[in-house]
Structure 1
Amino acid sequence: MLNVSRLHWWRHRLDFDDCGSNIEVGGKLWFMWKNELNLVIDSMSEQHVTMRIVDNLQLVFLTFVYAKCNYQEWCRLWSHLEAFNCTDPWLVMGDFNIIRHDGERCGGRPRLATAMDDFNACLDNCGLIEMSYTGNSFSWCNGHQNLSRSWARLDCTLLNVAGMDVFSEANFLYLPCFMDLVSRAWQEESNGSGLLRLAGLQLHIAELEARIQELENNLQDGYSADLKSDLLLSHLELSVWVEREETRLAQQAKQTWVQKGEANISFFHAVSKKIRFLIKMMRLGDGTMLTSPKQIHVSVVDYFHEFLDLSGLIDIVITEEDNRALCRVPSSQEVYDALWSIPVDSCPGPDGFISGFFKSCWHIINSDMINVVAEFFRGGCFTSVLHCFLFGPYS
């Protein structure tokens, strides 16, 4: 179930005055609005929310849909829509998780004919017609590769006759294709380049932590309601970003305990105390007492250096030429070959993407990826996020 506090955090972040959701009835819909909008929630279920808006004395009903994926739930949703059927302007939009006919899909298994017939019957009974649209013909893809890949148009906007009279020139725009979105996102400005560019998430967390520390110091110097509000919002934002980082680690490692991960300081230290034993003092054979970690370290190294003198027993196998070859900066082709050697269905990285993402978007991201690898081999510093990206979370 979605967190209500996070809903309010996003409302504040996006500068809306009020918000609501169907979380209490088991749904996943969020909606936000400004105070100048005269909005009243009319009805809701776990699959829809209907609201009425009065604008310039014109009453308009809006229904947002996020449908389930099984036949019984669809039938419940169609019943809700048919029961509400009205003669005022009415717009219905969202993810219906069903198509009207096989022409709205490409690939995949045929859809249940009975489900499509029921959907069409509901639209006829409610007098709903699809709004004209621009953009992609399909709004959903199963993400599979090769012959198992399929597309469908599960999202649409519908309106009744009264709605068509009021919004005669309305048009529904589908989002651009995936590659266009990746290209635009990758071209956005970011702090630094190379390793720093890929470390954006952790850098943002560090900035938030510094901001929280500064706000706490300012509050100690002099109380202010604005400072306290800012501090609470910063704490909430920090928790959101930390959870995102932990989610990425959990996705990569696929380990239950990483759900609370090393980013959760209290959890990490609690685990560490159970598995780590620290030697604070040591008595040598001659009675000398070592009382500091440095003394203990030096003594242990000296002891084993004398005890395990392996000089002359190990042949030199790696030559200086081999060392130089291992440490040189890989070529672009070598980076490419290394990426393409990773299976498409491999475990996701810290960013949540599998290798298939990097392969399919290689023409967009190749320059940055090659620069990251080159910077690493030149001795560039990298954060724990990049450590996971390059080596995995437990290396």
Structure 2
Amino acid sequence: MNYFNDQSNLAGLYDLGFSGPQFTWRRGQTWERLDRIFVNSMWFSEFIHTSVHHLSMTRSDHGPLLMNISASNVKHKPSFRYLNKWSSHHDFLNQVSLVWRDCHHLNPLIKIWQLQKKLGRHLSNWNWKTVGDINLNVVEAEKTVAKLEAKLESNPEVEKDLLVANENLMNVIYLIAASAVNYYQTLFKQPSDLRPPIQHDLFCRDENFMRALDLTSIPREEEIWSALVSIDNSKVAGPDGFSADFYKKSWKIIKDDIV
């Protein structure tokens, strides 16, 4: 081991250290930290906030290493993002109705912004209390596995419990993975909408009509709704964090302020 360390130092490589379980390999009652991540000085100069975490040994005698690279170790509050799954909840529209009110700013754009911020905070809290965090089961399962692995080093009798905990962790991960796979399989099986060829003669024939259009007039509610329904619900949300799905499903509640 000393020879290995000496050669690593000569090569200018440095062990990043770790957090989490102490060992990364196990055979019987033998535990070792065999897996490591080494970097050089150039890496440190480019990615100073790099950390390594030892994950649990699930269905393997080796524990995988998770490297996290961030520009800063300062944690920022994540911005609001609307989740399309919320609209399928039976109480969703009721929650929107409860909050989308009592803003009386004279500027309609500021009023909508205030309503969106207010509703965003409310839906985030409602999600935690009612819908739940989709990653919470994974986190809890990982904690259970980590605790049992720590006990196994001194108490071999918990190995059966560890096997059950590992199986539960894999099942929870599989549910999330299966949902993602199903979504993309369905998406890619959908027939593509081929646009018809452009008929250039229409532009010449209707040139006078186009010039007569009043494109600066305020759009009607029907025009706004027609444009809205043409947007795919799976499109990425805009800067306000709300996707097209929210505006479609909540239109009857919010349309007076939007129009």
Alignment TM-score, normalising by the size of structure 2: 0.29
Structure holding more strand per residue: 1
Alignment TM-score, normalising by the size of structure 1: 0.20
Point out the structure with max Rg over C-alpha.
1
Q: Which has the higher contact order (CA 8 A, sep 6+)?
A: 2
Structure holding more helix per residue: 2
